Chains A and B, each alone.
Chain A
Amino acid sequence: MKKLIALLAAVLMMLSLLAGCSGPTQGQASEPPAGDTAAPETTPSPTVEQPAAQDFKVAIVLATGGLGDGSYNDSVYEGFVKAKDELGVDFQLVEPAEVAELQGDFVQLAKSGEYDLIFGVGYECEEYVVATAEQFPDQKFVIMDSTVADHANITSVQISGPQMCFISGVIAGMYTKSNKIGIMGGVEGPAMVARCIVPFTAGAKLVNADAEVVVKYSGSWSDSSAGKEIALALYQEDCDVIMPYAGGSGLGVFTAAQEKGFYVIGAGGNQNSLAPELTIASGLFFYGNMAFYCIQQAMAGTLESGLKQAGLAENGVGYTTEGSNVEMSQENTDRLADIKQKIIDGVIIVPESEDALESAIANNAGH
């Protein structure tokens, strides 16, 4: 009897763990208005045979963060829902829990031969997509947030995070009075410096030559309490505009702002509603737009392989003040539009390495 109960308890725990991985996928399945009879995402396993109810079928393998990251997974997913609603595309969603699952997922999807297009999300899937693409040369792949450019059956889309951070830096430079701006980062790494801090700094210096950027890290992508303490420490060092760039840890910055009254700039999604009186704007990634665009092109048969850069010009990144109650003057709005246009025209340079920072600042001065 005891053994039986113990066994049941063990099974229950296993199940709830599995539910943690795949449950939400199924939960979301009922959400998009069903455009067809077979909703393929109700079966989490890509190996299950699907009745061919639609002409165009797409599979998407998310990054391991899964849905609800408020960043690229969610954004790509929105693009798919839009494609389903507007283009009648049928899609299969795969939410891997670990990087180790990626190779198997891609091979299974490609082997089935059912999908016109297979999407991988996040640079962590790059090598697995490349390996699978070499094995199945007739299968078309798209990788979001990648730079793979040398395969005939892979299209890489790179969203310009640096351009988004540059614009956020410009906004921060406009609003700071102490001329000290903070970045609350997650975990330090070369990508963080090159794709966030450097362009942000260049953006701030463009409109405010005296601006100084202070960076501190919470050491985690999920510790919102540590994020709050970091923000308070930045505020103590006179930073009066702070941008979180730290996933879930970033949420604490908004709480700290409400206690102390400094300005915040959101990143990666519209976070203005978290502290509407103090959040000036949020920088946005439009992965969804790009996913939608790729599907549209593929359906028309015009999707080209190689690298596609998606920055301000392609509507891959942008910013929004929607939901914010912080006033942005007409002068600042015009200035931002002007800077945005100059980035698109290539007049203003967005640096992406520490070495390029000084020369970019010198080049951009006066615009």
Chain B
Amino acid sequence: MDAQMLDNIGSLLASTVNIFIPITFAAIASCFSARTGIINMALDGIMLVSAFFAVYGSYLTGNAWFGLGLGIVAGVAIALFFSVITIKFRCSQALAGLGINMLAKGLTIVLLQAIWNAKGKSAIVEGIDVIRFDAIAGVPILGSIFAQIPPLLIVLVASLALVQVVFFRTVFGLRMHVTGENPVAARSLGIKVERMQYVCMIISGVFASLGGAYLSICDVSIFSRDMVAGRGFIGMAVAIFGANQPVGCILGGLLFGFAQSLQYRLQGGAGIPTQLVQMMPYVLTLVALAFSKKDTSGLTESRL
């Protein structure tokens, strides 16, 4: 293989990782809610709001990490709002999610207008810098992917490991599972079902916010309207694909990221219609879903 070829593969995989990060954050967020019996339909809205406030925080202080913090706070606030509506007032999860997604869209545009006097985009702000490993920059393929690592990738990998332990090695994880599996049985065992759901929705909010904030202050350092562009829903699909388990989320996220990245590179060549190429990631995900193992988390289909 010549150098150009290696370089192309490196670029393909680097792009895969970049697409993988926000989607997988959304997928973990979806796991936490789904395991306690809540379908977090508001993921997209939570991501959008946190993407906005992350940029706003960075704009106010010039510190992107402060922005990330503000983004998480705002995202969790929206997640809590969703929880109160669905857990306390028993509103339909689909309806509440739809409402919040619309709310998030309108809210961010109004705030854009109020703060930057523009409905399309924010100012460019200080972003979270990548961590550079210049020592491996020259190594083919690996250099392209790992010579510049976004700090949130490290957060993501660490979280995935932690979540794996929490889900399958802790009492908390077991209680979560029982809560989602059979709330009546859980209650009879003395588990405070609603408190469990609130806690998991907050955690779900944190992960969704990390995904949203990644898009704005890590990837492009600017907020533009509707920039989440359905990634919350893709994240949900990835979580379902991965049977609400971290390992499954990694595989699903990588598969989707790779297909998307490949799609970007195949476009404009060999005379294949663009629309067909653009369908690829979604078709691939559907096919993989159809052939993947049956849902092993024990969650029944009736929940959707």
Interface residues of A (CB under 8 A from B): 2, 5-6, 9-10, 13, 16-21, 23-24, 27, 31, 66-70, 188, 214-217, 219-220, 222-226, 228-230, 232-233, 236-237, 247-248, 251-252, 255, 274
Contact = CB atoms under 8 A, between A and B. Distances in A.
Contacts of A223: 226-227, 229
B278 A222 contact: no
B109 A188 contact: no
Interface string B103-135: 101110110111001111100100000000000
Nearest to A216: B267
B187 interface: no
Contacts of B7: 236
Given A16-B106, A248-B225, A248-B226, 5 more contacts: A20-B110, A23-B113, A225-B229, A228-B220, A229-B264
A32 to B, nearest CB: 13
A236 B119 contact: no
B164 interface: no
Interface of B: 7-8, 11, 15, 18-19, 22, 85, 88-89, 91, 99-100, 102-103, 105-107, 109-110, 112-114, 117-121, 124, 215, 219-222, 224-227, 229, 260-261, 264-265, 267-268, 274-275, 278
B91 A255 contact: no
Contacts of B114: 27
A219 B279 CA distance: 10
B278 A70 contact: no
A16 B220 contact: no
A274 B88 CA distance: 46
* Chain B at the A interface: SS class: helix
Contacts of B227: 222-225, 248
B110 A68 contact: no
A13 B118 CA distance: 22
B118 A20 contact: no
A295 B50 CA distance: 43
A229 B18 contact: yes
A216 B265 CA distance: 8
A16 B107 contact: yes
Contacts of A21: 106
Nearest to B16: A229
Nearest to A24: B113
B110 A24 contact: yes
Contacts of B113: 23-24, 27, 68
A276 B4 CA distance: 30
Nearest to A23: B110
Contacts of A229: 15, 18-19, 260-261, 264
Contacts of B99: 10, 13
A344 to B, nearest CB: 31
